[in-house]
Structure 1
Amino acid sequence: MAEEAFRIAKEWEHKMPAWADNPVHPPPNLDQITQRAIDIFMMSKKPNGEIGGIGWWQTANGYTAIALRDYWAGSKQNYDKMAQLVRQCESHQAGLINVFNDDTLWWAMCCMDMYAIGGDHWFLEKAKGIYRHINSKSSVCGRGQISFKDQDMEGACFWTTKPGEGQINSISSGLLAELSVRLAIADGDSKPGKERHPHFSKLQSVLGHGQPSCDDYMQTAHCTLGWILRCRYRPRDGIVLDGIRLKKGEAVNWTFTYTTGVVIGASALLYEATGEEKYMTLACHMAHRAMRNKSWVEDNGVLTEHGSYGHGRHDPAKNNDAVGFKSVLLRELGTLYEVIRKTNASNQDAQRTAGLIKTFVNINFESQQQRNTNGNGQYGPWWNGPFERPTSHSQMAALDVMAAVHLVNRM
């Protein structure tokens, strides 16, 4: 049950990891270091606007990290170039949409960050178009539509828009929840403390009849997050599990960092939109557990997610979706940090969490400089070292570190 997730998060006592007592500080030439990493990444740009050596969704994530670097640094240094490239990508992939809902939603995140920097409504409209696309394609389960092991799958987002798609997963669902609440906030319509009721059947009757309202976005966010907390969440260790193969009647309990990361971000933003303390408590609980997860984080505080894409287990020359999973977690920890600072959250645990995130980000940035670079602005895939070789996919993942380090040392 979703309420159990909130209850356990509230009752849990978080211990601080050993690395929390080892604060580090960024160098004075931080701007030059992070911009150099971006410039190296952009050397792989192809004529169609995408980045060579990586896929469609990875290009979106690389561009999102660049946008966040500017936004969190209080800069527009890369904005004009990024705006041109996103438009170029959209010119050959209409609406930035493909058959994979998670791919498409990553582009929506990129557009929302571009909108936050420049206020260009072209980006906001693309994000809204993606929201409408996913709902119009019946990619989200309605109330009573599908059940799995006697649980209603209301709110779950399918993996693709293919007819007969049989997989629902937490990454597409978590991204839809985050996009929805971000659209609600962008509309400037959500009122702290206003009661929300996630009746998705009502939402489905509204879609297709004019533009979705702020209430529609919030209903989607609540409903989709509700499915994750009911069906794909382990409350005690704060982990979001992967997905469900409906045709096989099989739950896939993979524990990737990015599935947990997007729910941290969505929960933090729901706190910003509603003022409901339970969302902040949940986000902080998940963040603490993630930063102390021995399968993801080394004893020195460096995020490696070794089992998914780790040194000695994978060929650093070969692209793999998993190379960027950990970078999404770091990005969403940044989202939580930003919300805590922006709202001046009075929750004592929130302030402790913000301090821990700052140390965590700085440790991971320092590790890139000491163990994972050739000194020329190029980074490998192993954040804890050793540096082996630079690739487009390893550079893409490192860009989220370059973005977050500006945030935590500015706010």
Structure 2
Amino acid sequence: MAENRRVRWGVAGCVVAVAGGVLTASDAITPEPIGPAVLQVRQWSRVITLTSSGGGATATLEHGQQGDSVWLERSTDGGASPAESADTGAESGPDTAERLVPGTAERLVPDTAEHLVPDTAERLVPGTVAAQQTVAHTGFRPYAGGMLRACGKPGDRDAIRCTRWFAEGEAAADRRQRAVERLLDSYDHAAGRWENGTSIWQSANALTALIDYMARTGDRQYLGYIDETYEHGMVAQTGVPRQTGYNDDELWWALAWIDAFDLTADQRYLQAARIIVDGLDDQHAAFCDGGIAWARMGVDPQSRPWTQVNAITNALYLTATAQLSTRVDSVSRPAYSARALRTREWFTDRAGRALLDPSGLINDHLDQYGDTCVPADAETRWTYVQGAMISGLVAEYRATRQAGLLTVADSIAAAATGPRSPFLRDGVLSEPAATNCPGPECKDAETFKGVFVRSYRDLLDTGRSKVATEEFLSRQVNSLIGKSDAYGFRWGAVPDSNDRPNYATQAAALDALNAAD
């Protein structure tokens, strides 16, 4: 899937939005200055924000609907009471929190006297989403000392969600969570994906980065984004928000849904992945010895004759089939195992062998030449191709426990991160073949390094790799320098006017932050 050939997507439209008043960006070298404090939680895609500065605070709820409410609470026990959970719907303890700014009494103030707003509390404008609106706020509430938090409640659900308790002047929130918040700033709620799906496959990777964050941290406040994405477009029928005609695009979504299933045990997500993978049974290219074609039925969406079989599509297919073989019912497992084996053997024994470079790296793709296939652009290599192949081998290892698969994965990792790697600059990952990056024509390559570090982490997590190290991943994270918690294409440099962060570059940075955990 050579980047210079992939011109089917427009530029990722808007730069990652930054919430007003958010703290100045932190990087691995420069400490974070303390400014106006912004704490956020998310509840079924609603954003609940506490902003504190100048001796006071406000609470805001965004992306809501009529009847949603938001309010401030002040602790009377030093913040010992926990934040309410989106999963349990627990209310505040009766004696531990004073509700300063309630929403509508009918919805939010329970009948018990302990929960009622005391007479000494100033009742401000209720923070309730009005008809035809999506935002509610409380107005500014002066306070002197103590612990504050913002809480919100969807009008159509029982659960209440609160930020953590906050004391004026304390340090900023966790860097990784701030990166998540900036990623979610560009989520398009109308479309159910990032930036209206300008690049369908990159939106799947953004969802994967978000899911990985939740899996690794235990923070479940963003679960609503998985469900919201699933409910849009054609996912229930086809597994993807919309079909692009490219098999690799669909396989990225299959992997995202498998990760969603692993996190939630929701069978809908597993079924979406199976719909995608099962729909590729007829996509083996006769002219390339059985590899999965890049474009559906051998013709791309622009109706040109298409004769490419690439490494990325087949590596993703290997990963998806191997992962499904350990998650579906016992009757269905052998079929997925057989597909995974057939795909790996395509790389080792059939036409795909030509993609395995003597350097240990994986070349990009094969083009039809008569009745066979030959490597094209042999010197054009991408980090994400190496990563996807590593993940495929790791997935099959987990399914079969064949140690030799990790030996091959190690060899790819060593070639990609060793002294002769074309991908490292001063020890930091780069994409030398991405001649249009950074810039408005960069497109696909903005995601590539994130895929690699995610896959490298997969290898490290086996506990059996002789190559993968925590130090390599820490080096990548330490290279990230953002502006207002938003990260551009270059790792190891501050984003400049030509390197504008967007959701794809932000998701790749989040992948690095996740992988180093």
TM-score using structure 1 length: 0.74
Which of residues 3, 27, 39 in structure 1 aligns to 2:181? Answer: 39
Instruction: Please name the residue that 2:445 is paired with.
Output: 322
Distance in 2, matches of 1:125 and 1:146, equals 31
Q: Matched residue of 1:245: which SS?
A: strand
The alpha carbon displacement at 1:146 in A equals 3.2
Instruction: Please name the residue that 1:297 is paired with.
Output: 424
Distance in 2, matches of 1:268 and 1:392, equals 27
Q: Matched residue of 2:186: which SS?
A: coil
Q: Matched residue of 1:140: which SS?
A: coil
The alpha carbon displacement at 1:77 in A equals 3.0
Instruction: Please name the residue that 2:295 is paired with.
Output: 160
String of CA shifts for 1:257-294, please: whole Å, max 9, x gaps.
11111111111121111111110111111112111253
Bigger helix share: 1
In the alignment, structure 1 residue 251 sits paired with structure 2 residue 394: no
Deviates more, 1:176-185 or 1:85-94: 85-94
Distance in 1, matches of 2:335 and 2:357, equals 27
After superposition, the Cα gap between the structure-2 partners of 1:163 and 1:60, relative to the gap in structure 1 and judged at 3 Å, is same
Distance in 2, matches of 1:49 and 1:271, equals 34
1:339-378 alignment to 2 at 5 Å? 339-340=462-463, 345=464, 350=465, 352-354=466-468, 356=469, 358-368=470-480, 372-374=481-483, 376-378=484-486
Uncovered stretches (5+) of structure 1, i.e. residues with no partner:
1-23, 148-152, 190-211, 407-411
After superposition, the Cα gap between the structure-2 partners of 1:295 and 1:217, relative to the gap in structure 1 and judged at 3 Å, is same
- Letter of the structure 1 residue corresponding to residue 296 of structure 2: T
String of CA shifts for 1:150-205, please: whole Å, max 9, x gaps.
xxx13x1101114554221111111000000000111375xxxxxxxxxxxxxxxx
Q: Would you say the 8 A contact 2:416–2:422 is kept in 1?
A: no
The alpha carbon displacement at 1:247 in A equals 5.5
Instruction: Please name the residue that 1:14 is paired with.
Output: none
The alpha carbon displacement at 1:74 in A equals 3.2
In the alignment, structure 1 residue 75 sits paired with structure 2 residue 199: no
The alpha carbon displacement at 1:239 in A equals 1.0
Distance in 2, matches of 1:276 and 1:73, equals 30
Distance in 1, matches of 2:472 and 2:172, equals 17
1:106-121 alignment to 2 at 5 Å? 106-121=252-267
Q: Matched residue of 1:307: which SS?
A: coil
Q: Would you say the 8 A contact 2:431–2:445 is kept in 1?
A: no
Distance in 2, matches of 1:114 and 1:263, equals 21
After superposition, the Cα gap between the structure-2 partners of 1:126 and 1:36, relative to the gap in structure 1 and judged at 3 Å, is same
TM-score using structure 2 length: 0.59
Instruction: Please name the residue that 2:123 is paired with.
Output: none
1:68-217 alignment to 2 at 5 Å? 68-90=212-234, 94-96=238-240, 98=243, 99-135=245-281, 138-141=282-285, 145-146=286-287, 153-154=289-290, 156-162=291-297, 165-187=306-328, 189=330, 213-217=332-336
Q: Matched residue of 1:186: which SS?
A: coil
Distance in 1, matches of 2:357 and 2:438, equals 34
The alpha carbon displacement at 1:119 in A equals 0.5
Distance in 1, matches of 2:329 and 2:192, equals 32
After superposition, the Cα gap between the structure-2 partners of 1:241 and 1:56, relative to the gap in structure 1 and judged at 3 Å, is same
Question: Over the residues paired in the alignment, what is the CA RMSD in angstroms?
Answer: 2.7
The alpha carbon displacement at 1:91 in A equals 5.2
In the alignment, structure 1 residue 384 sits paired with structure 2 residue 487: no
Distance in 2, matches of 1:385 and 1:92, equals 41
In the alignment, structure 1 residue 52 sits paired with structure 2 residue 195: yes
String of CA shifts for 1:84-124, please: whole Å, max 9, x gaps.
22332445984206211000000001101111100000000
String of CA shifts for 1:214-249, please: whole Å, max 9, x gaps.
111111111112222342443542211111121675
Instruction: Please name the residue that 2:124 is paired with.
Output: none
- Letter of the structure 2 residue corresponding to residue 175 of structure 1: L
1:10-29 alignment to 2 at 5 Å? none
After superposition, the Cα gap between the structure-2 partners of 1:337 and 1:228, relative to the gap in structure 1 and judged at 3 Å, is same
String of CA shifts for 1:364-386, please: whole Å, max 9, x gaps.
11111xxx212x21111101213
String of CA shifts for 1:107-152, please: whole Å, max 9, x gaps.
00110111110000000000011111111xx1024xxx435xxxxx
Distance in 1, matches of 2:467 and 2:438, equals 35
Q: Would you say the 8 A contact 2:246–2:296 is kept in 1?
A: yes
1:277-296 alignment to 2 at 5 Å? 277-292=403-418, 293-296=420-423
- Letter of the structure 1 residue corresponding to residue 479 of structure 2: S
Q: Which has the higher contact order (CA 8 A, sep 6+)?
A: 1
1:396-411 alignment to 2 at 5 Å? 396-406=507-517
